[in-house]
Amino acid sequence: MSITQLLTKKRFGEELTKEEIREFVKGVTDGSFADYQISAMLMAICINGMTKDETLYLTMEMAASGDMLDLSAINGIKADKHSTGGVGDTTSLVLVPLVAACGVKMAKMSGRGLGFTGGTLDKMESIPGLSVNISAEHFTEIVNEKGLAIIGQTKSLAPADKVLYALRDVTATVDCLPLVTSSILSKKIAAGTDVIVLDVKTGSGAIMDTYEKSMELAKTMVDIGNRTGKKFSALVTDMNQPLGNYVGNALEVYEAIEILSGGAEGDLKKVSLALGAHILRLSGIVNTADEGIRLLEEKIRNGEGLKKLSEMIAAQGGDARVPYDPSLLPKAEKLIDIKANKSGYVGSIQTDMIGYAAKSLGAGRERKEDAIDLAVGLVMKKRVGDYAEKGDTLVTMHVGAISDVPRAQAFIEKAIEITDEKPVLPVLIRGVVE
């Protein structure tokens, strides 16, 4: 069937067969379909939607469009976690070592930051010497021996998604439910793990800005994911303020170390433990998520989580001393405080504006090839519901040579609203999809 026949069928809302979707993905991958034809199909899907079967077929064909990692050489249950993207969202660096300390093999593939969202790979690379560019064979060896590794996705993993994602970004189809679902799940299925827990963000710093949209995405991904034979679960978590207090690459590694050392509490720790607990539950280590949280807390208290982080860093060529001496992380040249211009409560924080502020300082990128400064970023000194006197520091900017300080300050001032009345605090974990 030609691409025009496929387009005509989807344009009128008809259901595509497995064979037709296979033909579409093949044309996307081998370049036989033009960008404008692919874009037309994306828009038709966005307008008319896809059935569950269509979404499943699209997911599986995208996963099969390149290499499918074979992790059978790794003994035991292999697990991964995926976040739909956020600000100050360092859950991977907290939960991966903790879950590995409980006996689950954490074979984690991550991405880089883009737009206002941070990327785990950039955070990892702020650790001196550490490499995220590791072959599949070495990745398997590290996970088998140490129980954990975090690396970048190989170029040959789900190549169809790379084409579709780039076109979605310029055709206003980024938040289309079946396209989001197939994009995320195809990469996770191709990565070869048995258990995947999804962190679906909701709010001002999320791809889905309302709870209803986020819950629909979570349910769709868990349903489609479980139909592939893998074990999936999802949490819908709040992104109406940065998850952690630190935003920026080395800064977020520092906060993860603080949590693993037992020196920090807060929302980042709570979400990390909740996600990790569901991995343990799906892996058969515990019977309930509450039991999983207690076990992970024990791994913080006895230092096993921090030790696992050090082991992973060493295995990937980094300085294993960093978890025990975070002063070895890159530091910004200068600190600048942003102060409250009146007294009141922090009524709301526009999370995407905080992300853009960090990017303006040099912590993020517009394009994947853009250079970043691993040391810069910002530290939130007040969170939603906190009271601030006039002159109190709201945010401390960590500034470097490429930082656009006036632009970053403007974003921060736009992001934080000071109110006379104390606001209702946002609910952190909005829902769980089994």
State the pLDDT at residue 368. Answer: 62
The interaxial angle of helices 304-315 and 91-101, nearest 10 deg, is 110
Catalytic site residue from 10, 78, 82, 359 = 82
| C-beta of residue 59 within 8 angstroms of C-beta of residue 158 | no
Average pLDDT over residues 83-98: 94
Amino acid of residue 209: D
- The question of whether 82 is a catalytic residue gets the answer yes
Looking at 3.90.550.10, 3.30.930.10, 3.90.1170.30, 3.30.1300.10, the CATH number of the domain 331-419 comes to 3.90.1170.30
In the residue annotation, 278 being an active-site residue is answered as: no
Question: What tokens appear for 144 in the block?
Answer: 């088998």
Give me the CATH code for the 78-324 domain, please: 3.40.1030.10
Q: Is the separation of the CB atoms in 198 and 274 below 8 Å?
A: no
Which whole number is the average pLDDT over 334-344?
A: 98
For the stretch 3-46, pLDDT in tens is: 999 999 999 999 999 999 999 999 999 999 999 999 999 999 99
**Residues in contact with 147: Cβ distance below 8 Å, sequence separation at least 6, in sequence order:** 100, 101, 103, 104, 105, 106, 308, 311
Report the pLDDT averaged over residues 247-253. 97
pLDDT at position 114 is: 64
At position 136, the amino acid (one-letter code) is A
This prediction's pTM = 0.93
Amino acid 204: pLDDT: 85
Average confidence (pLDDT) over 137-154: 93
CA-to-CA dists, residue 355 to 246, 325, 364, angstroms: 11, 27, 8
Radius of gyration from C-alpha coordinates of the chain = 22
**What pLDDT, on a 0 to 100 scale, did the predictor assign at position 115?**
65
The ranges assigned to domains in the chain are: 3-63, 78-324, 331-419
Q: pLDDT for 179-190, tens place per residue?
A: 999 998 998 899
Confidence (pLDDT) at 298: 98
Summary count for the chain: helices (H), strands (E)? 16, 13
Q: What is the pLDDT of residue 112?
A: 77
The CA distance from 384 to 240, in Å, is 9
How high does pLDDT run on average in the chain? Answer: 94
pLDDT at 367: 67
**Residue 169 three-state SS:** helix
Query: Is 138 a known active-site residue?
Result: no
Task: Please determine, for residue 287, whether its predicted confidence score (pLDDT) is greater than 70.
Answer: yes
Structure tokens at 366: 């517009």
Catalytic residue chosen out of the listed positions 123, 168, 188, 359: 168
**Per-residue pLDDT averaged across 161-172, rounded?**
88
Contact predicate 56/66, CB 8 Å: no
* Mean pLDDT, rounded, for 275-294: 98
311 neighbors 321 (Cβ within 8 angstroms) = no
Mean pLDDT within 113-123: 79
In the set 183, 214, 283, 360, the catalytic residue is 183
Burial state string for 252-264 with b = 16 or more CB within 10 A and e = fewer than 16: bbbbbbbbbbeeb
Both tokens of 150, joined, read 């975090």
- From the candidates 78, 105, 146, 187, give the one annotated as an active-site residue: 187
Annotated active-site residue in 122, 161, 194, 199: 161
Q: Does domain 3-63 have CATH number 3.30.450.40?
A: no
Q: pLDDT tens for residues 44-69? A: 999 999 999 999 999 999 999 998 88
pLDDT > 70? residue 307: yes
Arithmetic mean of pLDDT, 190-214 = 90
